[in-house]
Chain A
Amino acid sequence: MADSRAVNGRLSGRRRKRPSAADKIYPMLLVAFGCICLTVTGSWHVYTDPLLGGGRKLFDAFSASVSLWSDSHSPAEDAEDADSSGGQQNSPQGGESPGAEEAPDDQQNTQPDGSQNEQPDEPDTGREDETEPEEPKGVSYQTVEDDYFADAVFIGDSRTVGLFEYGGLEETGTFYASTGLTVHKLFTNKIVPVPGQKKKKITVEEALSQNQFAKVYLMIGINEMGTGTPESFLEKYAECVKHIQELQPDAVIYLQSIMSVTGERSEQGDYITNEGIDIRNEGIAAMADNERIFYLDVNEAVCDETGAMIPDYTHDGVHLKAQYISLWKDYLKCHAVALDDSP
């Protein structure tokens, strides 16, 4: 670019004068605006975190780079590791419920009982009893047609958006889904468009209290994996289910398993792993009471024998390609619960 000529030392060499204020103004503006920006967005922790808590992190990064040959992952990942492990104690996002997380203190995450004791107001009937004999009791499923979903609502993240767009249920079912949705924001994000009003959107909570459904399908949980622990997630998830039940007392609630990712994606080295998904799914499965709340292991439809999503079905390892969404939908159609009281 022609500007490079000006940047080059020649120009400044020609004018042999002391640097005027005009030459310093941009760096100064940058610093000034930076202070404003960091203050307004409350992001000073970017600097303070490494200074206060992360002296250790810097040291880690340093010692890691000194031992060049010791292992193979990059310091960026180190930083993330430090983040996610530290996240249990002091991450800003997880800060809302750290007390509740640390209190149980047992990391055998497969037992939701520990976290259940944390919530005395969780009177789901006979849940403890149900967890063990869930399989023997059995639920009878029937196969249904698309119109089964006419009085169903699907709640979820971008994967449910995919089901909405390519499942062929656009007209039939109702979808309260949005990319990036988490259990933490499930009821507070304004994601449901109001029919008739173009721009206005309301929260899922409002939408659920305005409309009644016979079936609620919920698949959520992949976006939460970067923050908190399985316990904190399951706790929040249980709260959400309970609240949905309050809002939709007559509905059958289907808790769909969090869909696994491909083996490649799982081993990519960030927070999304199939192990993490499995732990959460076990917890979700335990929430089913098989009376009004049922657990559907959607992974049966899209995973291979190792429990990972089949690579051909996806581009990014997380979302099903449009043409394979039907596998998921067909699974749901084959797993409609035959309730005793239903005709």
Chain B
Amino acid sequence: MVFSSIEFLLFFLPIFFILYGLTPNRCKNVTLLAGSLVFYTLGERRYLPLLVVSVAVNYFVGRFLGAGVKDKRVNDKNKNYSKVKYKNQNGRGYELRYRERNRREWRKAVLFFALMGNLGTLLIFKSHAAEEALPLGLSFYTFQIASYLIDVCRGDVPAERSFFKFAVYITMFPKLVSGPLVSYGEVSEALDNRRMSWRNVQHGLKLFTLGLAAKVLLADRIGLLWNDVQVRGFESISTPLAWMGALAFSLKIYFDFGGYSLMAMGLGGMMGFSLPDNFKTPYMARSVRDFYRRWHITLGRWFCDYVYIPLGGNRRGELCTVRNLLIVWALTGLWHGGRGNFLLWGILLWMLIVVERQMQAFLERHPVGGESIWKQLSIFPHLYLWAVIPVTWMCFAITDVRELAVYLGRMFGAVPQQIVLRNDWSRALQTYGELFGLCFLACTPMVRRIYRRCRDSIVMDVALAVLFWICVWRIMAEGNNPFMYTNF
């Protein structure tokens, strides 16, 4: 079930939150868990057992890993005591230390196999199943479980003792299906103790409304142009239309995913969780590096914490950094899908990032006129980003590599056009021009700034309430179809 569906907006959302609100504080986790399972079941009941098994197994793995860590801490605390106690019994002290080390090895082995099991399952599904058949949310909850296990094993967080709370952490429906990826440390406090107040509900609902509007009124509408381009066939579009199509997809994926993350944050906020922000106006970035610090932040953070830094990060010389980046981006590509085009997408981004790193290093060594060149030519970095990112998105969007070659060829005029409608791009501009303008505006920090300033004013309340129902009305009109193409 997607958030932007009638079933969710008019049924699940009110019913769940009324029940949740009525539940006494002690039992709120039970309601949330039940609600999340219902939510998942309504979306995909085939793979519910996989989710349940995954949560159950990993709970016990976590307990095992956590138990070891706790022992170590206790031993640290009682070090003096044990020293005294075993002062004259060197043999037993040695044995204890030996057992401890043995145990640490065991923990590592268990962690290794648990990660293998989790990520291996993900990999099997990614490589074998077609994109549609991937179990709902698998990529997200697997990564969350992995982060939890690693954190527990490292001793960063204590293992969750309550099965309920662990299950809630993994399955919590706002973030179950497509993130944000929340680390256990971020929500462990809220799992124990959180407040659902009118204030939270109100702010959460407002965020939810903004996300819903981004999804329904921007992403779905601009996505029609991308769909239109695909239906025509890539051989038969003019070069300007090819660029418009790429731009439309870039905007669609942002408002789609960004809107979803915002909705997730809103829903979490209503219950008193503070979920991390996934997007920070990425299209305002001035380089690809910058872009991916603002785009799907929680995934970037995951790869940084659990892959990039353990590999040595950027502290072992430039060559090693470049290698680490390559690994991270190849894995990021793989995470998005098992097909060749995603790998290509990752590699392309890696190349861009490496080039940017070199450029920056060069500019720092040879400063031009005291100021960095990038700052003087403030518009060019933006233009560069807007030129490069749509191209990389095309590698992401078109899963058939042959088709992808045709599309990129059309973008750069390298592939001859077959039958092209004269002025197809100006017709598209007539239809979608205003929408493009609106989307560009929504890419700037302006919307957010306005929202933050007038969040509590009655005008904003009314405007958002109207917006919410406009979205609902649109969804009803479009037939409640996530891909909105009900009419031919």
Mark A residues whose CB is within 8 Å of B: 1-9, 11-13, 19, 22-27, 29-30, 32-34, 36-37, 41, 43, 46-47, 61, 64-65, 68, 72, 74-76, 157-159, 162, 165-166, 168, 179-180, 222-223, 226, 314-316, 318-319, 321-326
Contact = CB atoms under 8 A, between A and B. Distances in A.
A2 B276 CA distance: 10
26 contacts: A1-B280, A3-B451, A8-B274, A9-B197, A23-B199, A25-B458, A26-B205, A26-B464, A29-B461, A33-B469, A41-B473, A41-B476, A68-B46, A68-B49, A74-B44, A75-B42, A76-B1, A166-B421, A222-B488, A315-B230, A318-B488, A322-B232, A322-B419, A323-B233, A323-B419, A326-B419
B48 interface: yes
B10 A26 contact: no
B488 A46 contact: no
A68 B45 contact: yes
A323 B202 contact: no
B10 to A, nearest CB: 6
B61 interface: no
Contacts of A19: 197-199
Interface string B456-488: 101001101110110011001000000001111
Contacts of B206: 26
Contacts of B194: 9
A65 to B, nearest CB: 5
Given A11-B199, A323-B233, A33 B488 contact: no
Contacts of B35: none
A315 B41 CA distance: 31
Contacts of B418: 322-323
Contacts of B200: 7-9, 12
B473 A157 contact: no
A159 B190 contact: no
Contacts, number: 172
Nearest to A156: B488
B199 to A, nearest CB: 5
A323 B236 contact: yes
A7 B204 contact: yes
B465 A30 contact: yes
A29 B265 contact: no
A26 B202 contact: yes
Contact of A23 (B197, B265, B280, B451): B197
A166 B202 contact: no
A25 B270 CA distance: 15
Chain A interface main SS type: helix
A325 B202 CA distance: 53
B100 interface: no
A46 B8 CA distance: 12
B476 A43 contact: yes
Interface in B24-74: 41-46, 48-49
A337 to B, nearest CB: 27
Contacts of B284: none
A315 B407 CA distance: 14
B231 interface: yes
Contact of A29 (B204, B232, B276, B462): B462
B242 interface: no
A14 to B, nearest CB: 11
Nearest to A19: B198
Contact of B275 (A4, A27, A162, A223): A4
Contacts of B424: 165
Given A12-B199, A318-B488, A1 B277 contact: yes
B205 A37 contact: no
B248 interface: no
A24 B202 contact: yes
A187 B74 CA distance: 82
Nearest to B46: A72
A319 B233 CA distance: 10
Given A13-B195, A25-B202, A315-B230, A33 B466 contact: yes
B45 A12 contact: no
Given A8-B274, A26-B464, A157-B488, A3 B452 contact: yes
Contacts of A41: 473, 476
A2 B195 contact: no
A12 to B, nearest CB: 4
Contacts of B198: 19, 23-24, 27
Contacts of A179: 487-488
Contacts of A46: 6, 10, 476
B272 interface: yes
